[in-house]
Structure formats: structure tokens, C-alpha cells
Amino acid sequence: MTRYAYYPGCSLETMAATYHVSSLEVAHKLGIELEELEDWNCCGATAYSHVDELLATVLCARNLALAEKQGLDIVAPCNACYKNLWTTNAALKRDPDLAEHMNYALEADDLHYDGKVEVSHIMSAFVTDEALESIRRQAGERIKGLRVAPYYGCQIVRPRRPGLNISQVDDPRFFEDLMKAAGADPVAYPYKLRCCGAVLMVTNRRAAVQMLRDLLQSAVDAGAEVIATACPLCQTNLECYQSEVNRTYGTNYAMPILYFTQLLGLALGVGVKRLGIGKELVSAEAVLKRPTAATAPKGV
């Protein structure tokens, strides 16, 4: 059985609680064990890097040291947590002076970090050959043929990790492959890697609302029935501020925004409630009530 140290991140305890429960359900179905990191702290988001670089580093160093103590590699469901933990990990591994400085700080919590941990986005755990095979085997009809727009967001692929080539960053396909394995029909649309507005939704509303409009329109143009996200901030922006886009631009988007784990869970036969579906501000009823491939008339 594959085991990981699971770093939920702050959002998964609040706004993105549905991402949390659906991740656990899917992991369980795939025989992946997620052991929550003991007493983890905030990754610092983007704000900490705005304030002080070492401050941002020390926060992530603690989480890395906690994982090392548990003897496990980390998976993080949030793009920003993943990027912060990954970047700090890389910096600590290549810069012994920085590592020494951080280990001095870690002593205050009886911790030490030797650079033995690897950090991945939780989606990585679900797109291994083994996991994909298991999903294909278990997937029912529930989301068969569902036209889903896989929305990567930014930091799941950027900044580019070493060893990835340009096409893996410019046009990654792992999200599409995952949705296909679950039976869905991922649509191709040009904005799958374009920013959702992120923290600008708070700090520069006009900019973020425009970015969101472009993204929603791109998915609508491609005929998507639902947008699948892999990040709580992307999900929150796309869902909670969809009405603000409509008010600002006179549009009438009603696009359901679900976590990719919720769609995977549906495919794997997990109950709707157990996946947290029903807590959306933009109803996902259309996704649930659609005729499955078995009942849909031919040619639709």
C-alpha cells in the first residue's frame, strides 16, 4: 500500500472541506493511505513571500521536518501549498547554508530536516499507471461522457520543476488522462493553465473578475458542463465570484465548479454526500442529473 504524509492546508479545513473529504474517499478507493501531517502549519500562501523570504521558508521547513519525522513523502491538494513546500524543499536541498539556518530555527520545535522528503501535488498520487488502471477498472457510468474542463491553474505546473520539458509545462495532459480514466470526456480549451485571478480577487477585484470571465468563457466555448479544479483558491474564485462576473459583464454563467476528486469519487461509486457535493454556491445538480451514457439517446 502506498502511504503519504498528507498536508491538507488551511483551506481544506474550511472553504474547501469538500476537497478534503473527497480526497480521502478517492485515496481509500485506490488503496492509497494518507496519514495527516501531525500539527502542520500554514504554508505561507503568497502573502508570506510578500513579507519576508526567510519567514516563508521557515514555515515550510517545519512541515517538511514533520514529514521527515513521520518517514513519509508529502502530498498536498492545494496548488499553492504544493508550490511553496516544493520550492522550499528544493532550496533547502541545494543550499546548505540556508538548511543550517533553518535547522537552527527548527530546534525550537525539537525538529530537524535532512532533506529526505519529496513533495508532490495530490493529483500525482492519482495519475500513476497503477492508480489510473485501478480507476479504469472501478469506474462506473456516473460521469461517463461528461464534458469536463480540466482546470490545472498555475502552480501545479509552474514554476517549472526540473526534468519537465516544455510540452509538459505548456500543454500537460495528466489531468485529461485522469478524467478519461474515470470515463469523462475532457474538453480542450486554451485557458486551462491561465490564472484564475488568485489573491487578486481580494487585492485587485477588477483584474481578477476579468481574468475569471475570460476563463469561464473559454470553458463555455469548449462546451464544458463542469469545470474540475485541483486548487481551493481556483475553486473559490470560480464559484463564489461567478455571480460577480455575471453582474459586471452582464453574462449568465451557471457553471458548476467541482474538485477533481469529487468527480473521481462519483466515478468510483462514492456517495454524493460523502463527497461533499451539495455545498456549492453554484448548483452541481446538472452534473448529477444528466442522463448517463446508458440512458442517453443515441447521437447526443
Partner 1 sequence: MVVSSTARKISFREEVENLLHAEEGVSLVRCIQCATCSAACPAVEFMDHTPRELIALINAGMKDEVMASNTFWTCASCYACSEKCPEGIRPADVMYALTRYSLWKDTFNRDWVAPDFSRRFARTILRTGKSYEPGYAPAFIFEGGVPGMVREMRMAMRLLAKGRLPLIPARIKRIRNLRAMVARVLPLDGIE
Binding site for partner 1 (CB under 8 A): 10-11, 13-18, 39-42, 44-55, 57-59, 62, 91, 94-95, 98, 101-102, 104-110, 154-155, 158-160, 169-170, 193-195, 197-200, 202-208, 211, 214, 240, 244, 279-281
State the DSSP code for 94: H
CA distances from 236 to 78, 187, 229, 276 (A): 12, 21, 10, 15
β-pairing, 74-76 vs 2-6, is parallel
Of 123 and 208, nearer to partner 1 (C-beta) is 208
Least CB distance from residue 92 to partner 1, whole Å?
A: 10
Least CB distance from residue 180 to partner 1, whole Å?
A: 26
Least CB distance from residue 274 to partner 1, whole Å?
A: 15
∠ Cα 121 124 126 (to 5°): 125
Of 47 and 296, nearer to partner 1 (C-beta) is 47
Of 102 and 125, nearer to partner 1 (C-beta) is 102
Residue 199 CB neighbour total at 10 angstroms: 15
Nearest to 143, CA basis, from 29, 289, 26: 289
Least CB distance from residue 148 to partner 1, whole Å?
A: 22
Least CB distance from residue 135 to partner 1, whole Å?
A: 27
Report the interhelical angle of 79-94 vs 96-106 (nearest 10°).
110
Of 128 and 283, nearer to partner 1 (C-beta) is 283
Of 58 and 187, nearer to partner 1 (C-beta) is 58
Of 11 and 124, nearer to partner 1 (C-beta) is 11
Least CB distance from residue 103 to partner 1, whole Å?
A: 10
Least CB distance from residue 105 to partner 1, whole Å?
A: 4
CA–CA distance, 218 with 224 (Å, rounded to integer): 9
CA–CA distance, 179 with 185 (Å, rounded to integer): 7
Of 193 and 222, nearer to partner 1 (C-beta) is 193
Per-residue exposure over 62-95, b if at least 16 CB sit within 10 Å of its own CB, e if not: bbbbbbbbbebbbbbbbbbbbbbbbbbbebbbee
Of 254 and 281, nearer to partner 1 (C-beta) is 281
Least CB distance from residue 109 to partner 1, whole Å?
A: 4
Task: Provide the CB-side half-sphere exposure for 276 (13 A, CA).
Answer: 25
The backbone torsions φ and ψ at residue 46, rounded to the nearest 5 degrees and listed phi first, read -90, -25
- Using the structure block, give the residue that is written with the C-alpha cell 485571478: 197
The backbone torsions φ and ψ at residue 120, rounded to the nearest 5 degrees and listed phi first, read -135, 160
